[in-house]
């Protein structure tokens, strides 16, 4: 799968690598000492892209949280941010 240039972020004191790929979003649980890997679809734009980043970052911050909790929190937070006017700036 082709991937763009990875970017590193830290959540919950652990390093996470975000790769853009053809998936909507995915957060892979690491092995011992490995960073989390998150993939966000490069074609996702607007609210869908924000949803994916918030959802996958939530998985990174709370790796043991049930999917339903992550989904609910991610949806609510991205809706709040979107309603408050948060948008991706041009490069």
Instruction: Calculate helix-pair angle for 67-83, 46-61, nearest 10 degrees.
Output: 130
Look up tokens 């929190």; give the residue: 73
Q: What is the pLDDT of residue 17?
A: 65
Structure tokens given for 17: 């690598």
Q: What is the pLDDT of residue 1?
A: 36
pLDDT along the chain (91 residues), means of 10: 59 64 61 72 87 89 87 92 90 64
């Amino acid at each position: 799968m082709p991937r763009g240039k990875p970017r590193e972020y830290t959540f919950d004191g652990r390093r996470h690598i975000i790769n853009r790929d053809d998936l909507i979003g995915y957060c892979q649980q690491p092995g011992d000492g490995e960073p989390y890997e998150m993939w966000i679809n490069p074609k996702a734009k607007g609210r869908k892209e924000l949803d994916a980043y918030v959802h996958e970052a939530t998985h990174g911050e709370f790796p043991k949280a049930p999917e339903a909790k992550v989904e609910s929190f991610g949806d609510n937070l991205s809706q709040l941010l979107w309603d408050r006017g948060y948008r991706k700036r041009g490069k």
